[in-house]
């Protein structure tokens, strides 16, 4: 078990996705990268805050994922914002395509991580939250925080 945990290393997390969407189902996808991009990811230089995913011609493509140029990469560095292809099975892609055609569903990147030596992207089939949903989540979080604070005070006194 400890060996499995050491193979997983988080690079980037999209907290905004959990705030703005109801995440219905998650999928793991590989990502097509060039050498200097992988080296940059190993140093943790990646952002998926503004990233989004589209399916075009049977291929899943992530846009807006920023991978900073590798310092020692010189001419081999690619455009940091270039669209990158995600690698998934055709059955999964067709299933996602069917779900996306339903009203209100979209694909959002949740996190980028290393699984062993491979870079993986966790993507989620998501439904957008309305403003009142976000308010409910914030109220629940505040209530939980308040309860934890009261519990802590009682145990210390």
Quickly tell me which residue has 């979080």 as its tokens: 141
Q: Is 146 within a domain?
A: no
Q: Please state the rounded mean pLDDT for residues 10-14.
A: 85
Burial 92-107 (b: 16+ CB within 10 A, else e): ebeebeeeeeeeebeb
Q: Is 151 within a domain?
A: no
Q: Is 64 within a domain?
A: yes
The proportion of the chain whose per-residue pLDDT surpasses 70, expressed as a percent, equals: 90
CATH code (residue 82): 2.40.280.10
Give the model's confidence band at 89: pLDDT under 50 very low, under 70 low, under 90 confident, else very high.
Answer: very high
Reported as a single tens digit per residue, the pLDDT across 30-53 is 998 887 888 888 888 888 888 888
Q: Note the residue count of the chain.
A: 157
Q: Is 17 within a domain?
A: yes
Instruction: Give the gyration radius of the chain's Cα atoms.
Output: 19
pTM of the model: 0.72
Reported as a single tens digit per residue, the pLDDT across 16-26 is 888 788 888 88
The confidence score (pLDDT) of residue 76 equals: 67
- Work out whether the CA dihedral 77, 28, 110, 59 comes out positive or negative: positive
Mean pLDDT (the chain) is: 82
Q: Please state the rounded mean pLDDT for residues 129-135.
A: 73
CA–chain centroid gap for 95, Å, is: 19
Query: What is the domain extent for residue 61?
Result: 2-129
Q: Is 51 within a domain?
A: yes
Q: Give the chain's count of helices (H) and strands (E).
A: 5, 9
CB 8 within 8 A of CB 114: yes
Q: Is 152 within a domain?
A: no
Reported as a single tens digit per residue, the pLDDT across 64-88 is 888 888 777 677 677 778 888 989 9
Instruction: Strands of 48-134 (E only): list them.
Output: 52-56, 59-63, 66-67, 84-87, 105-115, 118-128
Q: Is 113 within a domain?
A: yes
List alpha helices for 56-113, DSSP H: 90-100
Q: Is 40 within a domain?
A: yes
Domain count, the chain: 1
Reported as a single tens digit per residue, the pLDDT across 103-125 is 778 888 999 898 888 889 999 88
């Amino acid at each position: 078990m400890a060996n499995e945990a050491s193979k997983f290393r988080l690079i980037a997390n999209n907290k905004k996705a959990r705030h703005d969407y109801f995440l219905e189902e998650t999928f793991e996808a590989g990502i097509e990268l060039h050498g200097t991009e992988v080296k940059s990811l190993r140093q943790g230089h990646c952002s998926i805050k503004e990233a989004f995913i589209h399916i075009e011609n049977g291929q899943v493509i992530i846009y807006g994922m920023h991978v900073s140029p590798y310092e020692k990469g010189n001419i081999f560095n690619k455009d940091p914002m270039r669209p990158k292809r995600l690698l998934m099975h055709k059955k999964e892609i067709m299933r996602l395509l069917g779900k996306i055609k339903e009203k209100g569903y979209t694909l959002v990147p949740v996190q980028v991580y290393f699984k062993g030596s491979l870079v993986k992207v966790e993507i989620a089939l998501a439904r957008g939250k309305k403003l009142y949903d976000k308010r409910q989540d914030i109220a629940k979080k505040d209530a939980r925080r308040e309860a934890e604070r009261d519990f802590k005070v009682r145990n210390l006194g």
